[in-house]
Structure 1
């Protein structure tokens, strides 16, 4: 399956705390937000929504 990783960090995200490095990963027509801590968001067709998922993960305690 075609898989592409991008280093897109949400533009409104605060500085990443230690252990959190959000990225987005594209697989086919879906985009998923992932973090170095092991968290991953749901697959989205919208890249912007995947970036929002990453920003929400960073904001969570």
Structure 2
């Protein structure tokens, strides 16, 4: 999983999971949101760790 800052170039590329999902997190200001290549997106979170957990839970389902 990688974090994409809207004002920076991503440092690493996402790796597909066995389910075919490619979850990522995007930061906007003080909020972080989990997104997936399938079109899913989680709620905006102040906790980056919780946004990463949202992404992991989505890819596991």
TM-score clears 0.5: yes
Q: 1:37 to 1:52 in 2, by over 3 A?
A: same
Aligned residue number for residue 25 of structure 1: 26
Unaligned runs of 5+ in 1: 10-14
**Structure 1 ranges of 4+ moved more than 6 A:** none
- Higher relative contact order structure (alpha carbons within 8 Å, sequence separation ≥ 6): 1
Compute the TM-score of the two structures, normalised by the length of structure 2: 0.72
Q: CA RMSD in A?
A: 2.5
Compute the TM-score of the two structures, normalised by the length of structure 1: 0.72
Aligned pairs, number: 53
**In structure 2, how many angstroms separate the alpha carbons of the residues matched to 1:59 and 1:39?**
13
Unaligned runs of 5+ in 2: none
**In structure 1, how many angstroms separate the alpha carbons of the residues matched to 2:13 and 2:31?**
15
Q: Structure 1 residue 3: deviation in Å? A: 3.0
Is 1:31–1:45's contact at 8 Å kept on the other side of the alignment? Answer: yes
Q: Structure 1 residue 59: deviation in Å? A: 1.2
